[in-house]
Amino acid sequence: MQNTPVALVTGANTGIGRQVAKELAGRHGYTVLVGSRDLGRGEAAAAEIDGDAHAVQLDVTDEGSIAAAAQRIRNEFGRLDVLVNNAGISFVGDADTPLEERARAGLLTEVSPDVVRQFFETNVIGPIALTQALLPLLREAPAARIVNVGSSGSSLTLNADESNPQRSMFGIYPTSKSALHAATLGFATALEPAGIKVNVADPGFTATALNNFQGTKTVEEGARHIVRMALIGPDGPTGTFSGDDGPLPW
């Protein structure tokens, strides 16, 4: 087993995930595993990272891919200290569709059951399945951390507030992220006796391909809190939902 701590970041060939991988490898000295559905794109991203970075083929909706990734990490690296569940989808269909139009199409009054299944497979079931597959390695780490990338736009409390103008866009994407938030709390309570801290980090409205680069934050800004939560010490929180400005309501 190597002495350098190891972090796996899913969906790390682009956007916030790639920036998180860059910072963990370049600034914090981690061996970083760049999870990517397309291995070639993952290898290209890993090659651009200043530090020890390796591409791992990983499709969180594919049980075989998850099993192969877990086995490779065991065989090649022998440890896993940090898991960042970043991979996700925010819409289906044509990437040129305006953001407002995507939001309307994603309302639960409009979206098809097949699309609902696709969102939950990627944004909820995938992170749960991957976390379960990697728990044997995480349990062996001296201070394992799991960070699930969430969204303040998926806060049930905020969207229940009638004065919130964004609540009209509460469709399948925020619904799936709300479910991921709940799953995070489930893992956090179950793993607390083992000392494994599990939290939700909200990157904020970051300019990425998920929103046609309409976000107001850079990927560097969006990655900052995720990295912070991946590196929390023994006195850090578990079972929390937070962003750059502090705790967020569930």
CA–CA separation, 66 vs 104, rounded Å? 33
- For the chain, give percent helix, strand, coil, nearest 5: 50, 15, 35
Residue type, 177: K
| Three-state SS at 37 | coil
**What is the rounded average pLDDT for all residues in the chain?**
93
**For residue 198, what is the enclosing H or E element?**
strand 197-201
pLDDT tens track for 107-147: 999 999 999 999 999 999 999 999 999 999 999 999 999 99
How many Cα atoms within 13 Å fall on the side-chain side of residue 175? Answer: 19
Examine the pLDDT at 214 and tell me if it is beyond 60: no
Average pLDDT over residues 195-211: 80
Q: How confident is the model at residue 179, as a pLDDT?
A: 98
Q: How confident is the model at residue 209, as a pLDDT?
A: 53
Question: Which residues belong to the active site?
Answer: 173, 177
Average pLDDT over residues 210-226: 76
CB atoms within 10 A of CB 80: 24
Examine the pLDDT at 211 and tell me if it is beyond 60: no
Q: How confident is the model at residue 98, as a pLDDT?
A: 75
Of 46-60, 164-178, 215-229, least confident by mean pLDDT is 215-229
CA 78 → CA 1, 15, 101, 136, distances in Å?
Answer: 5, 28, 46, 11
Q: How confident is the model at residue 210, as a pLDDT?
A: 56
pLDDT tens track for 67-118: 999 999 999 999 999 999 999 998 876 667 777 787 788 999 999 999 999 9
Residue type, 162: E
